[in-house]
């Protein structure tokens, strides 16, 4: 898979994520995709397979009234692609930790993608 194809697929996935288009996101990943959320080098969430990723995406899409993941830089490292991102969002619901609907957040981090058979095979969101 050429780097330009990987980049196009990443942009398609991120655009679908921003639009809360779960079907569009799933068109970008393989059946046995792995998704991880990593904070401070600790994996705090991990799901395996398209069905589990779809369930997570459906369950969390209303957490934010608006959300935008922006791509700052793409670094191709062999089979791994590291994407530096910005994430700006407005919460859509109140949370038990005191966050209220309407509160805003802005963070920077990176996402690592790997690919198999022309699709995304793993996604690791890191902060």
Residue 6 has pLDDT above 90, yes or no: yes
DSSP-assigned letters across all residues of 34-92: EEEEEETTEEEEEEESHHHHHHHHHHHTTTEEEEEEEEEEEEEETTEEEEEEEEEEEES
pLDDT in tens, 76-124: 998 899 999 999 999 999 999 999 999 999 999 999 999 999 999 999 9
pLDDT at residue number 40? 84
Name the residue ranges covered by the structural domains of the chain: 3-126
Which CATH number applies to 3-126? 3.10.450.50
Count of Cβ atoms closer than 10 Å to residue 67 Cβ: 19
Q: Could you tell me the pTM of the whole model?
A: 0.91
Residue 75 has pLDDT above 90, yes or no: yes
pLDDT at residue number 2? 94
Alpha-carbon torsion angle 93, 97, 102, 107, nearest 10: -110
């Amino acid at each position: 898979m050429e780097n330009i194809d990987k980049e196009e697929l990443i942009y398609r996935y991120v655009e679908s994520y921003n639009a809360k288009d779960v079907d569009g996101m799933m068109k970008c990943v393989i059946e046995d995709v792995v998704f991880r959320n990593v904070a401070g080098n600790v994996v705090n969430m991990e799901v395996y397979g398209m069905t589990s990723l779809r369930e997570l995406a459906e369950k969390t899409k209303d957490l934010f009234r608006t959300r935008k993941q922006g791509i700052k830089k793409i670094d191709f490292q062999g089979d791994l692609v590291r994407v530096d991102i910005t994430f700006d969002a407005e919460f859509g619901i109140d949370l038990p930790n005191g966050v209220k609907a309407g509160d805003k957040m802005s963070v920077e981090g990176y996402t690592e993608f790997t690919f198999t058979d022309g699709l995304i095979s793993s996604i690791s969101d890191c902060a």
